[in-house]
């Protein structure tokens, strides 16, 4: 899914280019200043660790920034 980032200074919302036009227009309608990022530009990544009920630990790293989940 495309991601968004709201920056206070300057007061604008950065949207990845694949956000729908409907969402873009709605954000502008309620007063947000929008900056659309060029295709291929990403600005955030997500990392996750899950402890399952059976004691197994799962690690996932965001592929969008070449992340790798590794355990030691």
Mean pLDDT of 19-33: 93
Please say whether the beta carbons of 61 and 47 come within 8 A: yes
Residue 29, pLDDT > 60, answer yes
Report the predicted TM-score, pTM, of the whole model to 2 decimal places.
Answer: 0.64
Sketch the domain layout of the chain as residue ranges. 1-41, 45-72
% of the chain exceeding 70 in pLDDT: 90
User: pLDDT digits over 44-59, tens only?
Assistant: 777 888 999 999 988 8
Please say whether the beta carbons of 68 and 60 come within 8 A: no
Q: What SS3 state is found at 65? A: helix
Q: What's phi and psi for 61, nearest 5 deg? A: -125, 140
């Amino acid at each position: 899914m495309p991601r968004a980032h709201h920056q206070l200074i300057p007061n604008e919302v950065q949207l990845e280019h694949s956000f729908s036009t409907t969402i873009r227009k709605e954000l502008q309608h309620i007063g947000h200043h929008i900056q659309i990022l060029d295709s291929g530009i990403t600005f955030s990544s997500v990392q996750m660790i899950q402890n399952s009920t059976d004691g197994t630990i799962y690690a996932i790293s965001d592929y969008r920034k070449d992340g790798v989940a590794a355990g030691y």
